[in-house]
Structure 1
Amino acid sequence: MKLNVEEMGFNYTDKSVLSNISFDVEEPQLLCILGPNGVGKSTLIHCINRILSRTYGTVMINDVDVKDYSLKDLAKVTGYVPYSASDTFPMTVVDTVLLGRHPHSNWKSSEDDIRKVYEILEMLGISDLAMRPFNMLSAGQHQKVMLARGLAQEPEILLLDEPTANLDVKHQLDVTRLLHRLSREKRIIVVMICHDLNIASKYADNILLMSQGTIFAAGTPKEVMTVENIKEVYDVDSEVIMDEGRPHVILRDGSSYETKGAITARCSLRCVE
């Protein structure tokens, strides 16, 4: 599987939302997208899966422009978990997750489809919810069911918009750890929008740090999570220490200081064990 984004931009009417986005992911990994609110993180993944049509540039999956995929074929290679499960489907959890199988089953669920759904529910620890109505679940349960639906697509690239939102700390760690493991076991690219700097630093293979519609920095957590980058992007002071070879960010309430200007990032993101 390969994901290549080249000089991609998106404008909303006459306003630039994304500009000159370029990065390559050509092996299984967990890629976290970080940045303040409103910098274009969700817009970026929406341009990858064609929820939005990019204004310029290219987005390629397996050397094919996403514009050249049929919607059905695109749904076979890309799974998507939205930020919030706001839809209140009047169906059971099993039926909701089965929706993820439809690109493969032509809306006729087989015994194999149902078996795969139950395996995913068991893996996520929510098999006890199988026959519960989706619209009667808590916000955190909604989020896990939507994650299950994305995994049911068996995609090569899984796009997630804050999949740990509405989860407590333990379940945030559990879900992110699971996504990291699945990238290895299923040999998929997992692209996850996240706001927690330390969870991203702990589990991500690579990070895209966004600011004002562009990629400010990209690379491994150690390369990206620096005091200077955090100050420039988030306008907060911090201390970064190493914990088991991974950066850990400690926020400080200190005086402001000058930092270097923004960089132009183009990178080929590789998984380093």
Structure 2
Amino acid sequence: MISVEHLNFSYPCGRQILRDISFEAPSGSCLAILGNNGAGKSTLLKCLCHILRPQTGRAMLDGVDLLTLPPRRLAEYVALMSQEPPSARLTVYDTLMLGRRPYIRWGVGQQDRSAVSDMLARLHLEPMAVRYLDQLSGGERQKVLLGRALVQQPKLLLLDEPTSTLDLRNQYEMLSLVRRMCAQTGITAVLVLHDLNLALRFCDRLLLLSNGAVHACGGAEIMTSESIRAVYGMDASVRAVDGIPVVIPHMAEQ
């Protein structure tokens, strides 16, 4: 379980971005961070992986405060799925091997090769193992970047807008894959998403941010017309379609 307690972050200029952020997510679950532009979603993710350093707060995972760990040790707990492929021209196999860097000391070992081979099989990437990333489609490339994060064998997987460049089919395939891998391995996933309906369909818990503070945190029940109006400043209805909550915005006539 990841438990974030009273996290605050401000830039050196004094502008406060995150205010007293607290939330929990159980092992094997997916939590979506939601909110309007500038709410602090990506900043929160960056604080959890040490790209940014919060001034106060804790992020406890299995009794360990992630915010106190040195980089190599942190990489054994937390993996960030980057949106950008490596700058070097690498094959799919070599890209996945990059995820083993926290464990490689003097050279690539059999355990590293086995972890990469297992991930290739799990994600059905074996047929393209020797292809270069720039030869893949957008959906295939995202799957490889997810594999690179997963082969790191983290307990916490961070994903910043993992579906932003994908078409509808690949959005569903990507989030289905994340959800399935979390359930199978016990990894906790924390995702920044903009699409409320994707979050309702694929995530177990929702964290609504507004002006850098937690507006609400919980299951699908927190996604109400009132919370959408408070966070996004617009009217919407939440209705069940085939048992799944769906947000339907009310667009004002021009």
TM-score normalised according to structure 2 size? 0.91
Which residue identity does 2:155 align to in structure 1?
E
Between the aligned partners of 1:139 and 1:37, the Cα distance in structure 2 is: 24
Which residue identity does 2:66 align to in structure 1?
V
* Structure 2 equivalent of residue 246 of structure 1: 244
Between the aligned partners of 2:199 and 2:67, the Cα distance in structure 1 is: 30
1:217 aligned to 2:211?
no
Between the aligned partners of 2:40 and 2:128, the Cα distance in structure 1 is: 34
Between the aligned partners of 2:185 and 2:85, the Cα distance in structure 1 is: 28
* Structure 1 equivalent of residue 113 of structure 2: 114
Between the aligned partners of 2:110 and 2:49, the Cα distance in structure 1 is: 29
8 A Cα contact 2:236 2:248, kept in partner = yes
TM-score normalised according to structure 1 size? 0.85
Which residue identity does 2:29 align to in structure 1?
Q
Residue deviations 1:128-156 (CA, integer Å, cap 9, x gap) = 33212234444443322211110111111
8 A Cα contact 2:27 2:188, kept in partner = yes
Deviation at 1:30, TM superposition (A): 0.8
8 A Cα contact 1:48 1:59, kept in partner = yes
Deviation at 1:91, TM superposition (A): 1.9
* Structure 2 equivalent of residue 19 of structure 1: 19
Which range is displaced more, 127-136 or 207-216? 127-136
Deviation at 1:15, TM superposition (A): 0.5
1:233 aligned to 2:231?
yes
* Structure 2 equivalent of residue 258 of structure 1: none
8 A Cα contact 1:143 1:166, kept in partner = no
Q: Give SS of 2:102's match.
A: helix
Which residue identity does 2:114 align to in structure 1?
R
* Alpha-carbon distance change, 46 to 65 in structure 1, aligned in 2, over 3 angstroms: same
8 A Cα contact 1:147 1:163, kept in partner = no
* Alpha-carbon distance change, 107 to 124 in structure 1, aligned in 2, over 3 angstroms: farther
* Structure 1 equivalent of residue 202 of structure 2: 203
8 A Cα contact 2:48 2:67, kept in partner = no
* Alpha-carbon distance change, 232 to 177 in structure 1, aligned in 2, over 3 angstroms: same
* Structure 2 equivalent of residue 75 of structure 1: 75
Which consecutive unaligned segments of at least 5 residues does structure 2 have? none
* Structure 2 equivalent of residue 38 of structure 1: 38
1:7 aligned to 2:6?
yes
8 A Cα contact 2:85 2:145, kept in partner = no
8 A Cα contact 1:89 1:135, kept in partner = no
Which residue identity does 2:51 align to in structure 1?
I
* Structure 2 equivalent of residue 185 of structure 1: 184
* Alpha-carbon distance change, 93 to 107 in structure 1, aligned in 2, over 3 angstroms: farther
Deviation at 1:103, TM superposition (A): 1.4
- Number of residue-to-residue matches in the alignment: 252
Between the aligned partners of 1:67 and 1:159, the Cα distance in structure 2 is: 15
Deviation at 1:188, TM superposition (A): 1.5
Q: Give SS of 1:253's match.
A: coil
Which residue identity does 1:224 align to in structure 2?
I
Between the aligned partners of 2:76 and 2:228, the Cα distance in structure 1 is: 36
1:47-196 equivalent positions in 2, closer than 5 A: 47-82=47-82, 84-85=83-84, 87-106=86-105, 108-196=107-195
Deviation at 1:227, TM superposition (A): 1.1
Which consecutive unaligned segments of at least 5 residues does structure 1 have? 256-273
Residue deviations 1:93-124 (CA, integer Å, cap 9, x gap) = 21111111121232622334223323323433
Between the aligned partners of 2:232 and 2:170, the Cα distance in structure 1 is: 26
Between the aligned partners of 2:99 and 2:191, the Cα distance in structure 1 is: 18
Between the aligned partners of 2:187 and 2:3, the Cα distance in structure 1 is: 15
Q: Give SS of 1:102's match.
A: coil
